[in-house]
Structure 1
Amino acid sequence: MGVVMIKCPETGRAIPTGMKADRERFSCSPVFFARTFCLICEASHEWFAREAWVHEPAEKRLRPRVTLALQPA
């Protein structure tokens, strides 16, 4: 799951829409129209689904556990 993002038309920066979606399912969803309030320019932006994308953060990499072995003296 990721966050649906759009580009702020005033600043050009990526902003979250408040929606969560799976990238594959979102790309297959029907075209829809929505509005999102932008905290950067403090305005409401209207957008179509084809203008948005899903940002999925990289999975947290698990560090391998290090096992300390006691060596006889």
Structure 2
Amino acid sequence: MGVVMIKCPGTGRAIPTGMKSERDRFRSSPVFFARTFCSICQTNHEWFAREAWVHEPEEEWRMSPRAAFALQPA
């Protein structure tokens, strides 16, 4: 199980949406629209499910820090 993430349109940094899901289940979910408060730029961002991804933190400890960072969308 991982955290559903989106990219902050202002900074380009990954932010958590507050939702949790399994990667395969999230990919097969119907398209939906949501809003998430961004703690980086202090505003709400509107997004579609196709713009989001599931980040599973346990993947990071299995690889080098550089490889884990490379997996994060810009």
TM-score by length of 1: 0.79
Q: Which has the larger radius of gyration?
A: 1
Distance in 1 (alpha carbons) for counterparts of 2:34 and 2:53: 13
Matched, 1:37 2:37: yes
Percent of aligned pairs with the same residue? 80
Q: Which runs of 5+ in 2 are unaligned?
A: 63-74
Counterparts of 1:57 and 1:15, CA distance in 2: 13
How many residue pairs were aligned? 61
**Aligned partner of 1:49: which letter?**
A
Query: Which structure is higher in helix share?
Result: 2
Aligned position for 1:55: 55
Structure 1 unmatched runs, 5+: 62-73
Name the Cα RMSD after superposition: 1.3
Give the alignment's TM-score, normalised by structure 2: 0.78
CA-to-aligned-CA distance 1:20-43 (integer Å, 9 cap, x gap): 000000000000000000000000
- After TM superposition, which residue ranges in structure 1, 4 or more long, deviate above 4 angstroms? none
Map of 1:4 onto structure 2: 4
